[in-house]
């Protein structure tokens, strides 16, 4: 009988230790972060976040458009917006690819440069959007050589296939002083 009660006691101690370990694990990681799911503010979230991660958005799941100019201090600032048109959630992280094209499809000016930033992963539920900034000095103010593009090619992060958007906002700098075009990383929503 003594061996049986000692075995029961050991089993009870092991069960208690396992339960305590489970509680410690659920309360947070060893790096001091909580055990709750984190997301970028402004992105849609389910009531009970699941531990699964949405896959990267592919070009075929997205629609692109260029938002309204928000000028300031001789700068033109346009949001490049990607909207999830699929029936499933997906993510974007980082910078878009972008290139201005003339009517014959020839690229105007060099590729835009990336503004320094720490990219975040933006989760796009069906119908949700993310935007990246497209900024350049107004050609009439900067004196840069300019051209009027027919379209803007937008390539989602991690993809090779671009989306073509009609460009209706006038002239853009293509060479000379202050001709650099800058891109920002994606943020949730359709504009700042």
Percent of the chain residues past pLDDT 90, beyond the cut: 66
DSSP state of 6: H
Residue of 39 and 105 predicted with greater confidence: 105
Sheet strands (E) in 15-169: 62-66, 75-84, 90-93, 97-101, 107-108, 113-114, 121-124, 129-137, 145-147, 151-155, 163-166
Residue of 63 and 13 predicted with greater confidence: 63
Indicate if the pLDDT at residue 69 is higher than 60: yes
- Per-residue model confidence (pLDDT) at position 165: 97
The CATH code of the domain at 59-188 is 2.60.40
Indicate if the pLDDT at residue 118 is higher than 50: yes
pTM: 0.73
Indicate if the pLDDT at residue 1 is higher than 70: no
The pLDDT confidence band at residue 24, using thresholds 50, 70 and 90, is very low
Q: Indicate the range of 71-75, 84-88, 177-181, 183-187 predicted with least confidence.
A: 177-181
Name the residue ranges covered by the structural domains of the chain.
Answer: 59-188
């Amino acid at each position: 009988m003594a061996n049986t009660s000692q075995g029961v006691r050991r089993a009870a101690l092991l069960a208690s230790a396992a339960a305590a370990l489970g509680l410690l694990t659920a309360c947070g990681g060893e790096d001091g972060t909580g055990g709750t799911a984190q997301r970028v503010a402004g992105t849609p979230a389910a009531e009970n976040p699941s531990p699964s991660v949405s896959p990267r958005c592919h070009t075929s799941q997205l629609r692109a458009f260029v938002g309204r100019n928000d000028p300031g201090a001789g700068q033109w600032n346009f949001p490049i917006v990607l909207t999830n048109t699929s029936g499933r959630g997906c993510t974007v992280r980082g910078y878009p690819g972008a290139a201005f094209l003339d009517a014959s499809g020839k690229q105007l000016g060099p590729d835009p440069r990336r503004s320094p930033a720490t990219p975040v992963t933006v989760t796009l539920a069906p119908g949700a959007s993310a935007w990246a900034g497209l900024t350049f000095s107004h050609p009439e103010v900067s004196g840069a050589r300019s051209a009027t593009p027919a379209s803007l090619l937008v390539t989602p992060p991690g993809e090779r296939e671009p989306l073509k958007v009609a460009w209706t906002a006038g002239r853009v700098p293509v060479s000379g002083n202050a001709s650099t075009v800058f891109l920002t990383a994606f943020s949730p929503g359709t504009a700042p």
